[in-house]
Structure 1
Amino acid sequence: MSSTLIAEQLLNGLGYGLMLFLLAAGLTLVFGVMDTMNLAHGSLFTMGAYIGATLSLYTGFFVLAVAGAIVGTVLLALALEIALMRRLYVSNHLVQVVATLGVILIVDDVVKATWGAAPIIAGAPQVFSQPIQITSDWAYPSYRVLVLVAGLAVAALLYALVNHTRLGMLVRAGASNRAMAQMMGVRVKQVFSVIFLLGAALAGLAGALMGPLSAVQNGMGETIMIPALIVIVIGGIGSVRGALVGALLVGTVETIGRAFAPALLKQFMPPALVADTAPALAGMTMYLLMVAVLFFKPRGLFPARG
């Protein structure tokens, strides 16, 4: 087990964690400030991935594809917010879960009718097709470096937005005590709309950036929603800083587990048993991490609500 392999998997884990952060940041704001359980957030991620992959294949301009994915996802989220979410803000969590679950089923059928059941392979843009030579014997994919840089840049911008702007002040006030914020004159409906659309933009960006790393296929949003929910539980509901730390922890732990669990299990098990056990054990790592964090910090690492 070489140091190069370990470093490469750590970078892969950080990249995956930053993609989780883009999804979890919007989700934790929606849930923490608006107290709304939006399971359809993963569907916005799916739409961003499909729109981005389609534009990339037909235009060949990656920047245009990412921008189009963000704009398209925000427009879809705006229609969803006007048609449904504004009615769910005052409903209980059970109604929110059932209603947004229905949105997932509708979006899945729309995706299947529009793009078909076959996955779309977008591929990395041509300018990022060559790897970066980090050392003499280690070349790392340049597109993954782009994902790392983009994720860190968005995290920094979101941190500045939440902590150093008036909108961020309103978001933090709503996450800490929504009732008090309303009594102080905060225009809750407008703040809710901005937060929902901001979360949609982040989901669309994550989907567009994830497309070249994996096949774009129906249901990918539901699959990534489970790690995203674990991220916001670990980080603390409503906390952007917690979402970042939780996402990096989950991404790194899960990637390291999937990469090295088979080699470790081969020391104790026959190969035939390792093939079945290793994926299951690797998939458990993020749940074990969540249990460990909640054992010591029941409200998450950085809870927004004191």
Structure 2
Amino acid sequence: MLRMFAIGLAAGSCQTLALAQQPSAERLLNFDDGAKVEGRKLPKVITPGGSINATIDPGTILDGAPRISSSGCYSPPKCLRLSMAPSAPNSKKNKILFNIWSHHKKVPGGQNGIIRINDGRVTNVSFAMKLGAGYSTPIHNLLHFQVSQTLPDKSRSAKMDYVPAGPIISLNMVPKSRRADKSSEYQEFVLSVRYPGANKFRYYDRRDKTVLYRGKMKIGEWYRFGLSFALKGGNDQPQGNIRFRLNGEQKVNYNGPIGFSPKKYGSSDTVGIDLGIYRTPDKSGRQTVYFDDVKVFRPK
């Protein structure tokens, strides 16, 4: 999307110069305009604006194929439904994530849409999410949203006790052992950030450096999540800002370290954005989640 504007300058004689902004990049998914899901092993959502591919890890068993639902949506008539069944034996992790903003492929708005650790540009993400009936509290880790940094050079981190990549901003569900509200009507979640000094959950609350906010969702009700972030470079540690809104109310305004230095760790300097279900193996757990009105916008 290319936007034009004019600036009037007075210097001697008056002149008006037409200047082109850097292209803004935008993606909107409301699943209403002819969207459909194709493929089972490698599903993708097909929309009039292009396709959004999913990643499924070995050992992941879906409770029915991903589909465009026509009931109970945030903004009718349609929304995306994903459901995960108990894990296959010996699986290491379970994942179905739709890559709504690529870390390496051309995105809306061209190359200026790619999110880089040091670009300092604001990225705005918003989506509506609902947990389906019978949602199982995870036994360990489970996330539904991530801003993710990849690790092309794995050799440089082989001796570390953590991986300097993966989700650097994420929406994680609180596991059974750390729940405060035991009601089956609710599930608790945290918004988290990762960097070398904040890598692991222990308490799933603000005692963990990685946790920025803890809240809860009622099963079967829609919640609107809004996230704005900007990433700035640094030789040893990238810095940035994160603002988080829940149902329009700001909950987080964070300034500090985010992610991992590409120069120091061999991590990529680009990040992507994913929605779906990503968890540790669970022999009994079932989770169904709905998404609607997904928007990513990067002003110039």
TM-score normalised according to structure 2 size: 0.26
Higher relative contact order by CA 8 Å / sep ≥ 6: 1 or 2? 1
Structure with higher strand content: 2
